[in-house]
Amino acid sequence: MSATARNFLIWSVLFVTIFVGVSFFTEQSEKMAENCLTYSRFVESVNSGDVAEVTVQGQKIVGKTKKGEEFSTYVPFHSPALLQDMVNHGVNVIAKPVESGYSFWAFIIPWIPLLVLVGLVFYSIRQMQSNGNKAIGFGKSSAKIVEDKTVMTRFEDVAGVDEAKQELQEVVDFLKDTQKFQKLGGKIPKGILLVGPPGTGKTLLGRAIAGEAGVPFYSMAGSDFVEVFVGVGASRVRDLFGQAKKNSPSIIFIDEIDAVGRRRGSGYGGGNDEREQTLNQMLVEMDGFDVSQTVIVVAATNRADVLDNALLRPGRFDRRVVVPLPDLKGREKILSVHTAKVPLDSSVRKDILARGTPGFSGADLANLVNEAALMAAKRGQANVTMKNFEEAKDKVLMGSERRSWVMTDEEKKLTAFHEAGHAIVSLFTPGSDPIHKATIIPRGNTLGMVVNLPETDRVSVTFEALQSNIMTTMGGKISEEMTFGKHRVTTGAASDIKAATSLARRMVTEWGMSERLGFQNCDFIESYGVREISDSTSRIVDEEVSAILTSCYEKTRAILIEHQKQLHDLANALLDRETLTGEEIKLVCNGETLPPILEEEEHEPAKNTEEGVTTSSSSTSKRRTTKTVIKKVKGALPDDPDLL
């Protein structure tokens, strides 16, 4: 019999037992209440001759009427006269001795339902404990013991974090050959803290350690220690470290340790007592290992700044391993790992994908590969192509296309010139990043977008690059003003204005790029109602920010006036194709013809436009060039040189 069927049968039997017991006692109680007579009523029945037989047992009388109905009653006192009356009226009187003490069954039967309920609860607890839930084992650790045979992740499966792997490889080597390190008096660090942004592979490194070490590996999340009951977390810490010591050499991996290791005394009311007790117990356990016991604690967090100082001191977490965002080569290796089981087309270039995904974490790249595979599967392809990866990257960076968002022709023109302004300024401004793509297809909350991607990873940014970034951001609004006039400028530049102002303020307050303020940090905010920056300095900050924005604005306008023809050509090309790559944007700005594109068959009749450009709907695909479209759209643009 299966476990499910056995449990169902047991629960059914218990339910039926309880139901029958409750029903029986309820029925007996109702029957007794119904047949019980008052003493006065009983005397009247005897005198009227209705009673046929009685059984007298002390003060309790049970009998039958002449109609065969049963009854019971109690005599308040011994009355020989009552007995004589019953005999005189022909009642058959049976006398029984009074029982001394209580009957066993009379005592046990009322407790049967309660005993059944207690047994049911006890059985349920035993079942939960046998399944590993430990419903009442609050003080026991819920750490998962991972065996190396069950973990398939190895260090070669973790890419892009070579320095972190090298330091963790030392831990694995020490656990495999402790004598090699101890013969010269060396001691392996007791604790290793993995620090890095979300998605960089800290937990993946923990799984790789479990697969490589070949020793007992205890995995637990920081939030698993803390409960609403004070003292439970500390008890779990003791239990966890006790298990690890018994099976040393071993590894304890605590994920998201900031959930329990936050700085003590912080927060409203001085902090949480339960969390602080748990942290105190962890501090004691980590600094109390015997020399003969090899237990290493590996913890991961992306908030090392909030951890308690006592937790980070030597003797506890001796070594801090930074797991950063991958660089160019690291991203290419990560893509190789995640595409190992994905059928790729020959057009896929991992080096190009790596260069086009700066700032992506390992989790972001895994999501990119997954999105590309889903797109290919949705279209019934046998392999994942480079086009799938490009579309997946656009979806991750810019959001899904909103083809259902209906835009009027005027909105499309405004959006096209707005995005063309961004692209032209970026293309002709020194220090600007190369343009990856420009589109006027609505994505997310935007009507269009220009994406710039750096050629290499950057650690620091120059003043020239920052100024170029501000100018590129201003290009959209200035392009609208020049093309359609100030009275038709839209609200689409709200995010651009916010980004440019924020960047200029940081240049002044944080990065020392203001000659008037010099080498000082003015990025102070109000704390407890007291400003830590003077009014005069704040006024200078505002003036310097305004000066940077004004200078960039004039330079941006000059660039767009100088390259006015390219601005119109690029806007019309965007109206035609909706999306242009960086190379196609360069071709348009150089006055070259874009390569023809194949469009799907249309079912509308052929018609002529105002400029004589014909659109055909024949069964064959048609070829268009950007130059023909420029002729068609230019007639709708204003000719006033002041507006251009």
pLDDT tens sequence across 542-590: 999 999 999 999 999 999 999 999 999 999 999 888 888 888 899 999 8
pLDDT reported for residue 288: 60
pLDDT reported for residue 621: 35
pLDDT tens sequence across 270-280: 455 677 888 88
Average pLDDT, the chain: 76
Please tell me whether residue 295 adopts helix, strand or coil conformation.
Answer: strand
pLDDT tens sequence across 368-391: 999 999 999 999 999 999 989 988
Which one-letter DSSP state was computed for residue 160?
Answer: S
Determine which of 152-166, 282-296, 412-426, 540-554 has the lowest per-residue pLDDT on average. 282-296
Strands 191-195 and 319-322: parallel
pLDDT reported for residue 330: 87
pLDDT, mean of residues 31-36 = 60
List the structure tokens of 199: 């998605």
Cα angle: 541, vertex 543, 547; to 5 degrees:
115
pLDDT, mean of residues 600-626 = 35
pLDDT reported for residue 420: 92
In DSSP terms, 192 is beta-bridged to 298, 319
Is 46 a residue whose pLDDT tops 70?
Answer: yes
% of the chain exceeding 90 in pLDDT: 17
Query: What DSSP line would sit under 432-496, residue for residue?
Result: PPPEEEEE-S-BTTBS-EEEE--SS--SS--HHHHHHHHHHHHHHHHHHHHHH-GGG--GGGHHH
Write down the number of H helices and E strands in the chain.
22, 17
Determine which of 490-504, 591-605, 620-634 has the lowest per-residue pLDDT on average. 620-634
pLDDT reported for residue 528: 45
- pTM of the full predicted structure? 0.61
For 187-341, strand residue ranges (E) read 191-195, 217-221, 250-255, 295-301, 319-322
pLDDT tens sequence across 56-106: 877 778 888 888 788 878 777 766 777 777 777 777 878 777 665 555 655
pLDDT tens sequence across 593-606: 888 765 443 333 33
pLDDT reported for residue 632: 34
For 534, residues 6+ apart whose C-beta sits below 8 A from its C-beta are none
pLDDT tens sequence across 5-19: 666 776 677 677 666
Is 399 a residue whose pLDDT tops 80?
Answer: no
pLDDT reported for residue 502: 93
pLDDT, mean of residues 294-315 = 85
Residue 419 catalytic?
yes
> For residue 443, which of 395, 492, 374, 392 has the smallest C-alpha distance?
395
Q: Which of 419, 480, 544, 584 is catalytic?
A: 419
Q: For residues 326 and 39, which has the higher predicted lDDT (pLDDT)?
A: 326
pLDDT reported for residue 140: 59
**Domains of the chain by range and CATH?**
3-108 (3.30.720.210), 144-322 (3.40.50.300), 328-398 (1.10.8.60), 409-587 (1.20.58.760)
Inter-axis angle of helices 162-176 and 202-213, nearest 10 = 30
Measured in degrees and rounded to the nearest 5, phi and psi for residue 452 equal -105, 135
Q: For residues 367 and 35, which has the higher predicted lDDT (pLDDT)?
A: 367
